[in-house]
Amino acid sequence: MGATYGSARVLVASNRGPVSYTVGEDGSLNAKRGGGGLVSGLSAIGSDADTLWVCSALSDGDREAVRRGVGEDGVRMLDIPADVHADAYNGIANSVLWFVHHMLYQTPLEPVFDAEFRRQWASYETYNRAFAEALAAEAARGAAVVVQDYHLTLVPGMLRELRPDLRIGHFSHTPWAPPEYFRMLPDDVAGQVLSGMLGADRLGFLTQRWADAFTACAERFAGGLGGTRIGVHGLGADADFLRRRSHERDVEERMAALREEIGPAPDGGARRTIVRVDRTELSKNIVRGLLAYRRLLQTHAEWRERVVHVAFAYPSRQDLAVYRDYTAEVRRLADEINAEYGTPGWTPILLNLKDDFARSLAAYRLADVALVNPIRDGMNLVAKEVPLVSDAGCALVLSREAGAYEELGEDAITVNPYDITGTAAALHEALSMRPEERAERSKRLAAAGTALPPTRWFLDQLEALRADQ
């Protein structure tokens, strides 16, 4: 019996889609459209290109939309059972694969690959198979499929078996673990991940470092890349959107509120601002950033009452206990530093844990220094966004373990993310930088950080995938 073909010529697969649904009190469904590079990329292809986005129903509202047959053109949402999705997404993707690629396990105690892990791994296989089957059913003959991230590492291999005619790409938004850490996975699971990825015609990574790490794993544990090609696409900031959005009224209002919270320096001049904006992911290194700021105040008393650390740490994955504990430690440490150094007219740290994009942009514009010190990060767009938006230009204190370091390291002040003393010294250097140098560095950082904007980033991958035939 011959294969049956769908009509979509370009397909994207990702855990989270471009739209989400909520159920109103009257039972009506309300749709909210998201943003980001993939949305921009698909928009750039044009509505006549027979595009389809395959994603997972994440909420009760999403699942209700699927059941009612409600949806947007160009989007197919999969109603994967909630327990299967939870096992695959939280149990495996975020609690195992993410930890391996970010090298974040406390290895004396974790991981423990036991019967519960095996049960959850079976759900991860089921979840990936649901995507592969949906893509196989929807894709036109010879269509291009771009699969996204560590949630869907098995999809390319599964899809290749179902539809060998397709052009299949996969893009990793995280780092890739070096062989010595990747081999922590059970041998059969590591083999499945690699064979799944190597089912793609082309694999994309954010930096050469992550691409090289994957290649090393493939050579060590899978006999090489076979016919799979590797590409590097360093996702950049969306300059046009950010410049426009950062000057809208709600951002101006939040700037005024932030200036009032920051207050003037004792001599009546403006206080300096060190800005960080992160999700409370364990890799973002927020706690060590706060410790470095405390060290700055300890060793450079001249900055007391003259600088404020604006720290926005937005909750992430709060359904996992380790993330809740980390968020609580961030709050505890900020309170401790404020109690230790604060005065009636000066709060050393302005910490906010409630997500607010307009307020983030307001902080970007006020930034004298941006602190981006992850333990390990696939890219880190904040490092690219703050210099672009900062009104007077900002100095960037950047971890050498951020993917963005490859593009921005020359004009940033580089730090070892584990070195509190070194990071404190870098903050002092950044605060002491002449305004002219700060502005010049910021211009160069902004140019480097916008070299591959989201639309171009996606289209480059698509063009490369087609060109590799």
- Please name each of the domains of the chain with its CATH number: 8-235+455-467 (3.40.50.2000), 239-449 (3.40.50.2000)
**For residues 457 and 38, what is the distance between their CA atoms, to the nearest angstrom?**
9
**Residue 38 or residue 179, greater confidence:** 179
Residue with tokens 């370009």: 10
Q: Are 135 and 54 in contact (CB under 8 A)?
A: yes
pLDDT of 34 over the 90 cut: no
Q: Who contacts 295 (Cβ-Cβ below 8 Å, separation ≥6)?
A: 420, 421, 423, 424
Residue among 345, 331, 337, 340 nearest 260 (CA): 345
Share of the chain above pLDDT 70, in %: 96
| pLDDT band with cut points at 50, 70 and 90 for residue 47 | low
Grouping H, G, I as helix, E, B as strand and the rest as coil, residue 363 is: helix
> What is the separation of C-alpha 371 from the centre of its chain, rounded to a whole number of angstroms?
16
Predicted confidence (pLDDT) per residue in 279-293, tens digit:
988 999 999 999 999
In this model, does residue 48 exceed pLDDT 60? no
pLDDT for 320 equals: 74
Determine the pLDDT at residue 425.
Answer: 98
Name 278's bridge partners: 313
Tokens of 409: 């390291």
What single-letter DSSP state applies at residue 414? E
Decide: 109 and 322 in contact? Cβ < 8 Å.
no
pLDDT of residue 154: 98
Average pLDDT (377-382) is 95
Cα angle 387-390-391, degrees, rounded to a multiple of 5: 140
**Average pLDDT score over residue span 57-65:** 92
* Burial grade of 183 (CB within 10 A; 0-12, 13-18, 19 or more): middle
- Work out the average pLDDT over 323-328: 89
Contact 391, 365 (CB under 8 A): yes
**Which secondary-structure segment (H or E) carries 239?**
helix 239-245
For helices 357-366 and 249-262, angle between their N-to-C axes, nearest 10 degrees: 60
Lowest mean pLDDT among 18-32, 371-385, 434-448: 18-32
Buried b (16+ CB within 10 A) or exposed e, 287-300: bbbbbbbbbbbeeb
Per-residue pLDDT tens for 203-243? 999 999 999 999 999 999 999 999 999 999 999 999 999 99
Tokens of 14: 């990702």
Q: What angle do CA 355, 361, 363 make, to 5 degrees?
A: 90
Determine which helix (DSSP H) or strand (DSSP E) holds 286, and give its type and residue range. helix 286-299
Q: Answer whether 429's CB lies under 8 Å from 404's CB.
A: no
- Region 298-310 average pLDDT: 97
DSSP code string of 200-267: SSEEEESSHHHHHHHHHHHHHHSSS-TT-EEEE------HHHHHHHTTSHHHHHHHHHHHHHH-B-TT
Helix (H) or strand (E) holding 232: strand 229-232
Q: Which of 32-36, 319-323, 338-342 has the lowest mean pLDDT?
A: 32-36
CA 337, 341, 343, 348 dihedral sign is negative
Lowest-pLDDT choice from 74-83, 157-166, 316-325: 316-325
Q: Cα dist. 377→60, 283, 443 in Å?
A: 31, 7, 23
β-partners of residue 203 are 170, 230
**Residue 185 DSSP class:** S
Q: In the block, which residue shows the tokens 């004009």?
A: 411
Q: Give the end-to-end CA distance of the chain in Å, rounded to a whole number.
A: 27
Q: pLDDT digits over 102-144, tens only? A: 999 999 999 999 999 999 999 999 999 999 999 999 999 999 9
Q: How sure is the predictor about 1, in pLDDT bands with cuts at 50, 70 and 90?
A: very low
Tell me which residue of 437, 433, 440 sits closest to 272, measured CA to CA.
433
**Could you tell me which residues are beta bridge partners of residue 370?**
275, 396
pLDDT at 318 over 80: no
Nearest to 203 by CA among 177, 238, 235, 168: 168
| Dist CA 255 CA 259 (whole Å) | 6
Q: Helix crossing, 187-197 with 115-138: angle to 10°?
A: 10
CB–CB of 378/288 below 8 Å? no
Going by pLDDT thresholds of 50, 70 and 90, the confidence category of residue 449 is very high
DSSP 271: P
Q: What is the pLDDT of residues 247-284, one digit of tens each?
A: 999 999 999 999 999 999 998 889 999 999 999 889 99
Q: In this predicted structure, what is the pLDDT of residue 315?
A: 81
Strands 29-33 and 19-23: antiparallel
